Amino acid sequence: MFAEVIVDIAHTAVDRRFTYRIPEGLPVSVGHHVLVPFGQGNHLKEGFVAALKDSADYPEIKDIAKIIEHYPVLLPDQIALAEWMKDAYHCLFVDALRLMIPAQMRGMRIKEKKVRTVTLAEGVDPEAASESLKNAPAQKRVFELVTRIGAEASVPDINAFYPGSTPAINALIKKGFLSEQSETVFRRPGKLRIHTPAYTLTDAQERAADAIRSAAARGEGDVLLLYGVTGSGKTEVYLRAIEDCLALGKQAIVLVPEISLTPQTVGRFTDRFGDRIAVLHSRLSAGERFDEWRRIRLGIADIVIGARSAVFAPTERLGLIIIDEEHESSYQSESQPRYLAGEIAARRVKASGGALVLGSATPSLLSYSRALSGKYMLLELKDRVAGRPLPTVEIVNMRDELLMGNNSIFSDKLAERLSECLALGQQAMLFINRRGYATFVSCRSCGYVLKCDNCDISMTYHKTESRTRCHYCGAVKPLPKECPNCKKPFIKQFGIGTEQVEEAVRRLFPAVKTLRMDTDTMREKGSYEKLLSAFHRKEAQVLIGTQMIAKGHDFPNVTLVGVVAADTTLNLPDYRAPERTFQLLTQVAGRAGRDSLPGRVVLQTYEPNHPIIRFAKEQDYPGFYHYEIMERRKLLYPPFSLFLRIVFADRDERTAEHACLDYAKALETELRAVLGEEGKQDLLLLVAAEAPIARISGYTRYQILIKLLRTKRLKDAVKTVSTFHDAHRGVCAETQLEINPQEMF
Helices and strands of the chain, counted as H and E runs: 21, 30
b/e map 195-211, b = 16+ CB within 10 Å: eeeeeebbebbeebbeb
**What amino acid is encoded at 332 in this protein?**
Q
Q: Which does 642 bind (CB under 5 to 8 A by kind): Zn ion, ligand ADP, none?
A: none
Q: With CB under 6 A, what is the number of residues at the site for ligand ADP?
A: 18
Provide DSSP, 424-435. TT-EEEEE-S--
Pick the stretch among 93-101, 137-145, 226-234, 526-534 that binds ligand ADP (CB under 6 A): 226-234
Using an 8 Å Cβ cutoff, are 68 and 33 in contact? yes
**C-beta pairs of 56-61 under 8 Å, 24+ apart in sequence:** 56/2, 56/19, 56/21, 57/19, 58/19, 61/2, 61/19, 61/20, 61/21
Q: Is 201 in the site for ligand ADP (CB under 6 A)?
A: yes
In terms of CB distance, is 15 or 380 closer to ligand ADP?
A: 380
Instruction: Please tell me the distance from the alpha carbon of residue 99 to that of residue 341, in angstroms, as a whole number.
Output: 12
Could you tell which of Zn ion, ligand ADP, none binds residue 236, using a CB distance below 5 to 8 A set by kind? ligand ADP
Q: Is 442 in the site for ligand ADP (CB under 6 A)?
A: no
**Phi/psi at 161 (nearest 5 deg)?**
-75, -55
First to last CA, the chain: 53
- In the complex with ligand ADP, which residue's Cβ is closer, 55 or 596? 596
Among 78, 139, 230, 541, binds ligand ADP (CB under 6 A): 230
**CA-closest candidate to residue 558, choices 577, 572, 544:** 544
Q: How far is the CB of 693 from Zn ion (least distance, A)?
A: 10
Provide the minimum distance between the beta carbon of 333 and ligand ADP in the complex, in angstroms, as a whole number: 25
Query: Pick from 132, 166, 179, 196: which binds ligand ADP (CB under 6 A)?
Result: 196
Q: Is 172 in the site for Zn ion (CB under 5 A)?
A: no
Among 151-159, 193-201, 648-656, 734-742, which window interacts with ligand ADP (CB under 6 A)?
A: 193-201
User: Out of ligand ADP, Zn ion, none, which partner does residue 234 contact, by CB within 5 to 8 A per kind?
Assistant: ligand ADP
Q: Is 557 an interacting residue with respect to ligand ADP (CB under 6 A)?
A: no
* Contact between 475 and Zn ion per CB under 5 A: yes
Tell whether residue 649 is a contact of Zn ion (CB under 5 A). no
Tell me: does residue 554 bind ligand ADP (CB under 6 A). Answer: yes
Q: Which is nearer to Zn ion, 182 or 519 (CB)?
A: 519
C-alpha torsion 256→257→260→266, nearest 10: 30
Binding-site member from 470, 505, 532, 601 for Zn ion (CB under 5 A): 470
In the complex, minimum distance from the CB of residue 531 to ligand ADP, in angstroms, rounded to a whole number: 19
> Does residue 205 touch ligand ADP according to CB under 6 A?
yes
> Is position 51 an interface residue for Zn ion (rule: CB under 5 A)?
no
Q: Is 166 in the site for Zn ion (CB under 5 A)?
A: no
C-alpha closest to that of 79 among 45, 31, 36: 31
| Ramachandran region, residue 31 (left: φ > 0; alpha: ψ -120 to 50; beta: rest) | left
Per the document, the length of the chain is 745
Q: How far apart are CA 409 and CA 417, in angstroms?
A: 14
For position 551 contacting ligand ADP by CB under 6 A, the verdict is no
Sheet with 153-154, strands from edge to edge, namely: 153-154, 113-120, 178-185
Question: At its nearest, how many Å lie between Zn ion and the CB of residue 497?
Answer: 17
Number of other CB atoms surrounding residue 451 within 10 Å? 17
The smaller minimum CB distance to Zn ion, of residues 473 and 540, is found at 473
- Burial environment of residue 354 by CB neighbours within 10 A (0 to 12, 13 to 18, 19 or more): buried
326 binds ligand ADP (CB under 6 A): no
DSSP 121: P
Binding residue (CB under 6 A) for ligand ADP from 117, 202, 568, 703: 202
Helix%, strand%, coil% for the chain, nearest 5:
35, 25, 40
Site string for ligand ADP, 232-271 (x = CB under 6 A): xxxxx-----------------------------------
* Among 190, 187, 185, 188, CA closest to 155: 185
How do strand 153-154 and strand 43-53 relate by DSSP bridges?
unpaired
| 619 vs 658: CA distance, rounded Å | 48
| Binding positions for ligand ADP, 578-597, rule CB under 6 A | 594
Map the footprint of ligand ADP across residues 350-389, applying CB under 6 A. Answer: 385-386
For residue 732, what is the DSSP state? S
Q: Is 454 a binder of Zn ion (CB under 5 A)?
A: yes
10 in contact with Zn ion (CB under 5 A): no
Q: Is 210 among the residues that bind ligand ADP (CB under 6 A)?
A: no
Note whether 228 binds ligand ADP by CB under 6 A.
Answer: yes
Closest to Zn ion by CB, 434 vs 576, is: 434
230 binds, among ligand ADP, Zn ion, none (CB under 5 to 8 A by kind): ligand ADP
Burial of 151 (0-12, 13-18, 19+ CB in 10 A): exposed
Instruction: Report what 231 binds from ligand ADP, Zn ion, none; CB cut-off 5-8 Å by kind.
Output: ligand ADP
- Give whichever of 360 and 442 is closer to Zn ion, judged by the CB atom: 442
Our CB check for ligand ADP shows the closer of 4 and 244 to be 244
Smallest distance, Å, CB 201 to ligand ADP? 5
Q: Which stretch binds ligand ADP (CB under 6 A): 227-235, 344-352, 484-492, 706-714?
A: 227-235
Q: Should residue 472 be labelled a site residue for Zn ion when binding is judged by CB under 5 A?
A: yes
Q: Please tell me the distance from the alpha carbon of residue 351 to that of residue 77, in angstroms, as a whole number.
A: 7
CB of 389 to ligand ADP, least distance (A): 13
Minimum separation from the CB atom of position 563 to ligand ADP (A): 18
> With respect to Zn ion, which residue has the nearer C-beta, 473 or 636?
473
473 binds, among ligand ADP, Zn ion, none (CB under 5 to 8 A by kind): Zn ion
Sheet holding 542-545, edge to edge: 392-397, 600-605, 558-563, 427-431, 542-545, 514-517
- CB distance 616 to 393 below 8 Å: yes
Q: From the CB of 73, what's the least distance to ligand ADP, in Å?
A: 35
Strands (E), 198-280: 222-228, 251-255, 277-280
Nearer to Zn ion, 434 or 600 (CB): 434
Among 145, 155, 217, 473, binds Zn ion (CB under 5 A): 473
Q: Which does 470 bind (CB under 5 to 8 A by kind): Zn ion, ligand ADP, none?
A: Zn ion
Q: Where are the alpha helices (DSSP H) in 477-576?
A: 498-508, 527-536
**String of contacts with ligand ADP for each residue 382-401, x by CB under 6 A:** ---xx---------------
Which residues 496-535 are close enough to bind ligand ADP by CB under 6 A?
A: none
Q: Considering beta carbons, is residue 529 or 668 the nearer one to ligand ADP?
A: 529
Across 104-249, the runs of DSSP E, i.e. the strands, are: 113-120, 153-154, 178-185, 222-228
Say which residues have a Cβ less than 8 Å from residue 59's Cβ, sequence separation at least 6: none
Instruction: Name the site residues for Zn ion (rule: CB under 5 A).
Output: 452, 454-455, 470, 472-473, 475
Instruction: Name the site residues for ligand ADP (rule: CB under 6 A).
Output: 196, 199-202, 205, 228, 230-236, 385-386, 554, 594
